[in-house]
A and B are shown apart, each in its own frame.
Chain A
Amino acid sequence: MAESTVIATSGAIPQDPSPLAAFWSAFKENRGAVAGLVVVAIVVLLAILADVVAPHAPNEQFRDAVRAAPVWAEGGSWKFILGTDSLGRDMLSRLIHGARVSLFIGLSVMGASFVIGVLLGLACVGLPGALGQAVDVAITRLMDLIMAVPSLVLAILVVAVLGPSLANTIVAVSIVTLPRYVRLVRASAMAELGKDYVVAAQVAGVRRLRLMFATVLPNGLSPLIVQAALGISDAILEAAALGFLGLGAQPPTAEWGTMLADAREFIRSNPWLVTFPGLAILITVVAINLMGDGLRDALDPKMRRS
């Protein structure tokens, strides 16, 4: 109260809310997005604290409790809240450690394709003269090519060449998602380049590298942030699909897709073995997507899907 009186008496112009505050007030309008954010926060916390939170080690085998039922089912016990898998490993602990693997994949893929995407996208627009044109054509064609191959098929091809592993999954999925970032950066950089403030910066003698990274890039960042958020969920899904096909993270890594593949043969006898890992993937991906939609609405009013 005292503050507002001071402002009123001193006659100062009320300041605009900080960009962060403006963003938050727009973001919190969207209940789905807030719910998504909460779930994502929980998953991130679980992933970070996996060693502390998980009741057992992810790869510890309890030979006397193979394929134990979850606690609410007949024969279940509080020792294994969500039951155990075919090797007697605790399902809940593996799911919690799986969150770590999935988020690691999602963030690595996003980071790699974001950085490379920005570099390639700006290279398309920013390089001068004939060389610039040639680079633009080459990169654009290459991205068209990547987009022409169905995502999972391309990822399979890459993994077939490099061999199945967690690291190669990240490489494969990064290649698949790269074109989205490159195209976005290229398009928004081209749109910005013609604007007055960029011309002004050029006239003022700003060098090309600085122009691209310090002047153009920040102004095209909003759609890129949205893409990055949604890119994490896409990466998690693709990686889980590769894991499910046996081409992703290799056993005994507790990866959700790989866990599903292991559980497939027990689909009749132990349905929960199949249910939980898939549910974990679905909940995480839905939460990230809801959050991404909220980001889009809050960051870019033009893209708002009314």
Chain B
Amino acid sequence: MLLYLLRRLALTIPTFIALMFVTFVAIRLVPGDPVEVRVGERGISPERLAMFRHELGLDQPVWQQFLHYTNALLHGDFGTSLATNQKVMVEFAALFPATLELSAAAMLLAVAIGIPAGTLAAARRGSLVDQTLMGLSVTGYSMPIFWWGLLLIMFVGERWGLTPVSGRIDLIKYYFEPVTGFMVIDAWLSGQAGAVKDALHHLLLPAMVLGTVPLAVIARMTRSAMLEVLGEDYVRTARAKGLPAWRVVGLHALRNALIPVVTIVGLQVGTLLAGAVLTETIFSWPGVGKWLIESIARRDYPALQGGVMLISSIVIVVNLLVDLTYGLVNPRIRHG
């Protein structure tokens, strides 16, 4: 097991190096000079310009810049935002809990609805219920979520007035210092009446939008895993000894069908983070996705570079953890 772990860890190192290299090169290929972005339109004296260039290390050879960049990254320095003059890491860390909260809520919805739906479809295979659920699943999987979000805003938010359509909480009614960065938990800690409910209200629509694609994928995956398991001998044995159907399907079969489903859940992290860019933009959710899009609009390339680097690192680490857990659960993978 230790050997497997080390081998798997070693495999991610080249990926990280390549990631550093690619983001470094990509940003240097961007048309326009970062110094110009910083000084703005008015222009400055050549001496000041040279000073800025020196400050940003742009007067050194490219390979030296790359070494500096790598060195800084290894020390946790992801650069400084041109727009706010803050460390990219600091900005990212402040915004990430919002994205994490949204993604977690979306995943919770997807799992809580997707697994029962997939199980039901498999148990009633070929029936109208099955066909309807799978039809919905294809629709969810094909959904342009930015449009889905706008539709929900239009109907649930505006026309029926059921939920708020932007932000994380009503800032006029409730104010408290962030403690954990998770609005729902912070609201609960603040003890203000109605704050938790308001935060959950704000969370509902964005989580629905972001959860749609994972929900469809999980439902479909659960269904096919269940169908496979339902044909196994031990399920037949369970049926033969007279167990009620819900016990056979819900306990004996589901527990075994869940192994591939768990992997799929883990692998949805990339989908969630990509979806967060769109969802946060639509719902003015102050997370890293919205921040990334704003960085492009402001031509804040260090922020973009650092953001891409950080988001990708998270995906790499989570995928690694999923692999390791899977190896832990399933010895056939570990020794394969």
Contact = CB atoms under 8 A, between A and B. Distances in A.
Nearest to B153: A267
A156 B312 CA distance: 13
A149 B138 contact: no
Given A141-B14, A150-B315, A240-B144, A161 B139 contact: no
Contacts of A204: none
B15 A150 contact: no
A152 B142 contact: no
Contact of B147 (A141, A163, A271, A281): A281
A290 B138 contact: yes
Interface centre among B15, B142, B311 (most CB of A within 10 A): B142
A245 B278 contact: yes
Interface string A236-260: 0100110011010000000001001
Contacts of B227: 306
A245 B15 contact: no
A244 B278 contact: yes
Interface residues of A, number: 45
A306 B315 CA distance: 32
B142 A153 contact: no
A156 B281 CA distance: 14
Contact of B224 (A152, A154, A156, A305): A305
Nearest to B165: A267
Contacts of A277: 147
Contact of B296 (A142, A151, A156, A260): A156
B235 interface: no
Given A244-B278, A305-B224, 17 more contacts: A32-B138, A148-B19, A148-B312, A149-B308, A150-B312, A152-B278, A153-B292, A153-B312, A154-B308, A156-B296, A160-B30, A237-B144, A245-B278, A282-B142, A282-B143, A289-B142, A306-B228
A257 B220 CA distance: 27
A240 B142 CA distance: 12
B61 interface: no
B73 interface: no
Given A144-B15, A148-B15, A150-B273, A161 B151 contact: no
A141 B144 contact: no
A145 B315 contact: no
A224 B319 CA distance: 25
Q: A interface, by DSSP: helix, strand, loop or mixed?
A: helix
Interface centre among B27, B139, B146 (most CB of A within 10 A): B146
A274 B158 CA distance: 14
B29 A161 contact: yes
B336 interface: no
B316 interface: yes
Interface of B: 14-15, 18-19, 22-23, 26-27, 29-31, 135, 138-139, 141-144, 146-148, 150-151, 153-154, 158, 220, 224, 227-228, 270-271, 273-275, 277-278, 281, 292-293, 296, 301, 304, 308, 311-312, 315-316, 319
Interface in A185-220: none
A242 B220 CA distance: 27
8 contacts: A150-B273, A150-B315, A153-B292, A240-B144, A257-B144, A260-B150, A267-B154, A278-B144
A267 B146 contact: no
A247 B277 CA distance: 13
Given A145-B18, A150-B311, A285 B142 contact: yes
B15 A145 contact: yes
Interface centre among B31, B147, B224 (most CB of A within 10 A): B147
Contacts of A154: 308
Describe B's contact surface by its main secondary structure: helix
Contacts of A63: none
A157 interface: yes
B120 to A, nearest CB: 16
Interface in A275-291: 275, 277-278, 281-282, 285-286, 289-290
Contacts of B281: 245
Most buried by B among A32, A150, A161, A247: A150
A141 B11 CA distance: 9
A161 B23 CA distance: 10
Nearest to B224: A305
> What are the 7 closest A-B residue pairs judged by CB atoms, nearest first?
A278-B147, A150-B274, A152-B274, A285-B142, A286-B142, A150-B273, A150-B270
A286 B148 CA distance: 14
Interface string A57-94: 00000000000000000000000000000000000000
B144 A161 contact: no
B22 A151 contact: no
Contacts of A267: 150, 153-154, 158
Contacts of B23: 157
A286 B135 CA distance: 10
A148 B319 contact: yes
Nearest to B228: A306
A237 B15 contact: no
A153 B274 contact: yes
Interface in A110-140: none
A149 B23 CA distance: 11
A197 to B, nearest CB: 26
Contact of B138 (A142, A247, A260, A289): A289
